[in-house]
Structure 1
């Protein structure tokens, strides 16, 4: 047993949560989309957020089933009660009527990427004037950003597609989560030609788990998740999972 796991057990015992491990609280149906290295059906243990969610829920005494689906379907079917928890999502007002959110457990830096010979740096909205900017259709970008005038927006289904367009000079810049773009770029020829403007993110978004409000005890589950995620952070287990997925 590692020191991190021993420390986690001690935290659970002191907080009165260890008893939850001794009885099955039922099944939680979790769902995720393809968003590597955060989530992905082909990733080790489903990616960072999926592994975290499964371990946290199991530590709480729940059994877990997992499904991967396109993001549009996940959003479209939320009211049908087909799943209980989304492992990784950004919080915004349009989603709060459907989901009870955990506290943010990880930060996503949303940045621009361009070709190195252009080395685009974003400081103000007018810097985007007359540029072809790649965005992902499923991302919840800030409204003020999308309202920037004189921009040609190009929607893609994922960042892989946007990055290919940048490399092919069909876009001036693409914007998305730094971790995800770097992961996707590893698979592309010419990835060493990309420049990431990490010093000027358009925003830093906290990542949350979202519990479907159709789940009868959604408020209780969110409190349990918050407590257990904090226990994972205190024990060092959280950082171990991050490291396993290249996020440290």
Structure 2
């Protein structure tokens, strides 16, 4: 075979190899700062952790932010490869493969620092008005408890300002989300409130890899391996610190 022909064949094989193995994984998530938000550094804390672990496992990726319903539909149809921020549910195993836990979402109550509120059981909180965001799910027990004095509000920022002004006695939110929004509040609001020690609920955060991707098993295995390695070598902790956590 002439040398020029051999070279062209080799270039063609390399191009085919890159096309087959160099394709970017399509990451998706809804707007959920500080975890996933296209306006934040590297798409937010969760997106940064996920894309870093996948890169270490050999997968390039790109992130797109869409509403939650569209993200779930895209995973089920294979238009996206990886849902960045998923809580485990049996129903979702029919459309994707879950990774191991890579973050934990802890929903915690906040009170005014000068308030003598304690929380061990929900019954202890029946006497207190609690600001809750409309449409949010906090925990099954809390959400279904009709004796709670729930005061619906539009968002956590409104809730924590009402708390600081002593218009309600408690509010609640995922700890990372609360810390993110508190960092954007005035010092007066930040310094007036604090977390209660005991979480209301804990949910493990996972990636969900579409079953439509033929390599979903390998992607999950590589991701889990690299998350463990990142925790061991300190790079996981450095990412948390870089995102202010």
Q: Is the Cα contact below 8 Å between 2:107 and 2:138 reproduced in 1? A: no
Matches within 5 A, 1:1-248: 24-75=21-72, 77-136=74-133, 140-154=137-151, 158-167=155-164, 169=166, 171-189=168-186, 190-197=189-196, 199-247=197-245
SS in 1 for 2:199: coil
Deviations 1:58-84 (A, max 9, x none): 222222111123334434554343322
Rg larger in structure: 2
Kindly provide the CA deviation profile for residues 180-210 of structure 1, in whole angstroms up to 9, marking residues without a partner as x.
202201212322111211x111123222122
* Cα shift at 1:138: 6.8
- Contact kept, 8 Å, 1:121 with 1:200, in 2: the verdict is no
> Structure 1 stretches (4+) deviating beyond 6 angstroms?
none
Contact 1:130 1:150 in 2 (8 A): no
| Aligned equivalents of 1:176, 1:103: Cα separation in 2 | 23
Residues 110, 195 of structure 2: 8 Å contact kept = yes
Q: 1:112: how far off?
A: 0.2
Deviations 1:149-204 (A, max 9, x none): 3124455565334324434555432221112202201212322111211x111123
> CA 1:163 to 1:41, structure 2 compared with 1: closer, same or farther past 3 Å?
farther
Measure, in 1, the Cα distance between the counterparts of 2:63 and 2:56: 16
Counterpart CA distance in 2 for 1:233 and 1:143 is: 31
* Cα drift, residue 218 of structure 1: 2.3
Helix, strand or coil at the partner of 2:203: strand
Listed one character per residue, the Cα deviations across residues 80-102 of structure 1 (whole Å, up to 9, x for unaligned) are 43322122232234433333211
In the alignment, structure 1 segments of 5+ residues that lack a partner are 1-22
1:215, 1:73 → 2: CA distance? 18
Inter-partner Cα distance in structure 2 for 1:201 and 1:236: 26
Q: In structure 2, do the counterparts of structure 1 residues 157 and 52 end up closer, same or farther at CA, with 3 Å as the change threshold? A: farther
| Structure 1 residue 214 displacement after superposition | 3.5
Query: RMSD value over aligned CA atoms?
Result: 2.8
- Once the two structures are overlaid, the 10-residue window that deviates more, 224-233 or 80-89, is 80-89
- Per the normalisation by structure 2, the TM-score is 0.78
User: What runs of 5+ residues in structure 2 fail to find an aligned partner?
Assistant: 1-19
1:16 maps to what in 2? Answer: none
Distance (Å, rounded) in 1 between the aligned partners of 2:169 and 2:94: 36
> Alignment length, in residue pairs?
225
Please tell me whether the aligned partners of residues 133 and 153 of structure 1 are also in contact (alpha carbons under 8 angstroms): yes
**Secondary structure at 1:210 match in 2:** strand
